[in-house]
Structure 1
Amino acid sequence: MGILPPFRRDPTFYPSPRMAMNSPPEDLAYVASLYTGTGINRPDFLAVVDVNPKSETYSRIVGKVEMPNLNDELHHFGWNACSSSLCPNGRTDLERRFLIVPGLRSSRIHVIDTKDNPRQPKIVKVVEPSEVSKVTGYTRLHTVHCGPDGIYISAFGNEIGEGPGGILLLDHFTFEPLGKWEINRGDQYFAYDFWWNLPNEVMVTSEWAVPNTIEDGLRLEHLEKGYGNRIHFWDLRRRKRVSSITLGEENRMALELRPLHDPTKLMGFINMVVSLKDLSSSIWLWYFEDGKWNAEKVIEIPAEPGEGLPEIIKQFKVVPPLVTDIDLSLDDKFLYVSMWGIGEVRQYDVSDPFRPRLAGKVRLGGILHRADHPSGFRLTGGPQMLEVSRDGRRIYVTNSLYSTWDNQFYPEGLKGWMVKINSSQDGGLEVDKEFLVDFGEARAHQVRLKGGDASSDSYCYS
């Protein structure tokens, strides 16, 4: 009788967030980089950045994957497989190998293989937008999450730029679209982000807007009715919406969902970008208690008076903080908040999630602060996307929100950059003086770390 070769699971898959925190540090970062909306007629690209401080090419772009078409607007992207594969209904024969990179404007899906040469990955498959819309009815693809049973991608709307938006699935092996995820959505119309608690079979989704009210830029007259302010809770197995909560009647743009990584805790955070009342931003905690879903505001960040403001906010005479991204460390201790308008990244200790405590902050660019990098490099735009390393000690920051919105809020011109913020174990932030990636005329959006990061994986074990 022959001896079967031993099966070795992907070493970047971890049963629990605590085990992932003890993994080796990242050495490469993949960054969505775009020329869409800049006036430069070149295709977007995925940049490979060396983030190993011991490397001779540290803080440099060491590889690029150029997209085969123009005007994709690369935005959010994710892995084909991750630690969710270790869940009881997962596929342990998968490996973290392919990056699934959609175009937010084009709805085209690029499958990029990183295995043979992580510094020079290659496109191995392109799913055209016509195939996506034919099978699913969805367009304008956004968030990508590696589920135990397939690859999930959120979408803003349909072929004519209206709603409802929702979620579609790709096959784990062929990367072909399978169809819409929702069976019973109720009155859910706006879509944006999603995430889940897998052991409790809960899906959570958020709201931004439909394509027709965001693609050509922000119009203030759309704010009252054209942007969402609800969070939705779903039965993950039955694919049915079971509850929705309005996060303040005056608030608009319910964006990033950050559930606690500990799968035994049914709660998480979401950011509201702007209040119609005073242009403040807020962070809300959503949680399950006494047999029902609840949500309450736990952080409020006011607008601040400013001068020399862009036309889009000039009449208000204040700078809205514009909290456009949040991220949560794997130990669920620190919540990181980017303020794209003011120009700050804040760190809150959320050990008690109902009572966050400010633990650190740094200034980077911004309409208000206009803060340069410690090296003296001028930072246009403001801190936007955040990615936290698995051990929680490094936060990578980029500065582009969405091309047409970049042009409105930073009309003097926004050039792409990526910086690193170091976090001490007990809290406190400092911008790394030695790390700065200049993308020049290209704009930088989401960052994914090789081997995983704080917003790429979900876990089934505490």
Structure 2
Amino acid sequence: MNKLFLAKNLPSYFKATLIASILSVSASSAQADETCTSPYAPKITGQEDFVYIWTLGVEGLGDEQDKLVTADVNPKSPNYGKVINSVSVGGRNEAHHSDFTDDRKFLWAGGLDTNKIFVFDVYSDPAKPKLTKVITDFVSKSGGVVGPHSLYALPGRMLITGLSNNKDHGGRTALVEYNNAGEYIATYWLPTDSNLQGAIKSGNYADGYNYDVRALPRHNLLLTSSFTGWSNYMMDFGKMLTDPEAMKRFGNTVVQWDLHSHQPKKVFDVPGAPLEIRCALADKHDYCFTSTALTSKIWLINTDSKGEWQAQAVADIGDPSKIPLPVDISISSDDKTLWVNTFMDGKTRAFDISDPLHPKQFFEQKIGAQVNMVSSSWDGKRLYYTSSLLANWDKKGADNEQFFKAYHWDGKQLTQQFAIDFTKEKLGRAHQMRFGAYALYDKKNKS
């Protein structure tokens, strides 16, 4: 029975999900951006033209505002390696993560402190995004969710992970759903010991914490990870490390959800603050990875012999006793390599994940005094890095390097192509990246 036949005979939401999955696979050859992009969005498999960098404003630097910075990254462009556009959004909101709607015409970007969500038009002129909408009632509409973090495209919808709540500013929080027009739809609270929301608690924890979200549509699987609440992520990093009570306020769970109903099904123990989730892309690869910031481990989420989803630690990242603080991870499009950044030592590491049960590190390189995000091109030949973790967690003094760097990867070594000093350019703290390309919208390269 083929997918198109099934699509005609499924309920409406299932039908939309399956059709979007089919379209995302069969879209133009200008498909896909960084490999963690939602499976419902078209992707850039060729050369990306731009990288959009969601950037934190710094007091006393430039206009001091958060901004979306556009860098030209096409080697054929006369502006290659330069900032070609910047859109300030007003104030400092703790700019953090961003992502596209399922048609990739709009980029949603969140502020962890003010709870504002900024919507940029990247379709009309991909080289010059325009701020078209600001959602200011996220907390009230969601029923008290604070800290919009991951923004993840579903068909016609945007699923947003919260990091906190407005009652105690702790880690208990929810998933929040909007439509592409920016209208609130629903809130789905994370399961806790006192209210499992119908989920099964498989270990010791059901903390209700949240961080990232990723889907495997062919398995009706949605996964969320966990981090910490507003009272921690807005605290000075050094002060937090010496506060015993603060160090107790970190998530230890990954939650399995029903993708279509958004019903939580099972809570897994993943101690040590699991952050980014990255899922395999090949049809026969039924697994996802996450990494734990505090215990420095790679975890695998896969099915056991009974077809049940489980979570298990499969590798160490550096020397866990030194707490290198793994942050962003990126999976290659062939499911063979997992890139892992560690903030404290400023390094990027490559793991061979051909055998997902036994990842093996085969490469590492220092990118800077600190490093946070990593984004890989679809062909795996280009890697981009940014520096900032959180305004109050970034290093101090000379180690507070703020940059956007581009590298070429030949399978054995990284070669830097260019670097933009965000402090020197008075832009701020470079955080998260998303790719842009004229070809996505059948627009001619104007550069």
TM-score (norm 2): 0.80
Q: What's 1:273 paired with?
A: 293
| Structure 2 counterparts to residues 378-417 of structure 1, below 5 A | 382-406=370-394, 409-412=395-398, 414-417=400-403
Q: What's 2:122 paired with?
A: 114
- Aligned equivalent of 1:331, options 334, 339, 344: 334
Q: What's 1:194 paired with?
A: 213
Structure 1 residues 70 and 399: alpha-carbon distance in aligned structure 2, compared to 1, 3 A threshold: same
Q: Does 2:447 align with 1:437?
A: no
- Aligned equivalent of 1:78, options 80, 89, 99: 99
Shift of 1:40: 7.2
Alignment partners' CA distance in 2, 1:37 and 1:327: 31
- Aligned equivalent of 1:294, options 264, 288, 310: 310
Q: What's 1:418 paired with?
A: 404
Instruction: Give, as a single letter, the amino acid of the residue that structure 2 aligns with 1:253.
Output: A
Q: Does 2:354 align with 1:354?
A: no
Q: What's 1:231 paired with?
A: 254
Q: Does 2:45 align with 1:23?
A: yes
Shift of 1:343: 2.0
SS at match of 2:97: coil
Contact between 2:172 and 2:190, CA under 8 Å: does it hold in 1?
Answer: no
Q: Does 2:82 align with 1:60?
A: yes
Shift of 1:33: 1.1
Percent identical residues: 27
Q: Does 2:117 align with 1:126?
A: no
| Structure 2 counterparts to residues 198-237 of structure 1, below 5 A | 198-218=217-237, 219-220=240-241, 221-222=244-245, 224-237=247-260
- Aligned equivalent of 1:44, options 66, 69, 85: 66
Alignment partners' CA distance in 2, 1:165 and 1:392: 35
SS at match of 1:325: strand
Shift of 1:245: 1.7
Shift of 1:320: 2.7
Shift of 1:43: 1.2
Provide, for residues 360-382 of structure 1, a one-character-per-residue CA deviation record: whole Å limited to 9, x for no partner. Answer: 2221223xxxxxxxxxxxxxxx1
Q: What's 2:265 paired with?
A: 242
Instruction: Give, as a single letter, the amino acid of the residue that structure 1 aligns with 2:98.
Output: F
SS at match of 2:209: coil
Structure 1 residues 260 and 16: alpha-carbon distance in aligned structure 2, compared to 1, 3 A threshold: farther
Instruction: Give, as a single letter, the amino acid of the residue that structure 1 aligns with 2:68.
Output: L
SS at match of 1:213: helix
- Could you tell me which runs of 5 or more consecutive residues in structure 1 were left unpaired when the two chains were aligned: 1-8, 82-94, 276-280, 305-317, 367-381, 453-462
Shift of 1:240: 1.9
Alignment partners' CA distance in 2, 1:263 and 1:451: 26
Contact between 1:18 and 1:331, CA under 8 Å: does it hold in 2?
Answer: no
Contact between 1:132 and 1:177, CA under 8 Å: does it hold in 2?
Answer: no
Shift of 1:237: 2.2
Structure 1 residues 393 and 273: alpha-carbon distance in aligned structure 2, compared to 1, 3 A threshold: same
Instruction: Give, as a single letter, the amino acid of the residue that structure 2 aligns with 1:207.
Output: S
Q: Does 2:353 align with 1:365?
A: no
Alignment partners' CA distance in 2, 1:204 and 1:24: 29
Q: What's 2:38 paired with?
A: none
Shift of 1:412: 4.1
Shift of 1:157: 1.7
Instruction: Give, as a single letter, the amino acid of the residue that structure 1 aligns with 2:84.
Output: V
Shift of 1:182: 4.7
Shift of 1:264: 4.0
Shift of 1:39: 7.5
The two structures, once aligned, show a CA RMSD in angstroms of: 2.6
Structure 1 residues 244 and 184: alpha-carbon distance in aligned structure 2, compared to 1, 3 A threshold: closer
Contact between 2:171 and 2:227, CA under 8 Å: does it hold in 1?
Answer: no
SS at match of 1:43: coil
Q: What's 1:447 paired with?
A: 433
Contact between 1:319 and 1:342, CA under 8 Å: does it hold in 2?
Answer: no
SS at match of 1:274: coil
Q: What's 1:159 paired with?
A: 166
Alignment partners' CA distance in 1, 2:190 and 2:325: 34
Q: What's 2:278 paired with?
A: 258
Alignment partners' CA distance in 2, 1:293 and 1:217: 37
Q: Does 2:185 align with 1:178?
A: yes
Alignment partners' CA distance in 1, 2:246 and 2:389: 17
Contact between 2:145 and 2:165, CA under 8 Å: does it hold in 1?
Answer: yes
Structure 1 residues 183 and 302: alpha-carbon distance in aligned structure 2, compared to 1, 3 A threshold: closer
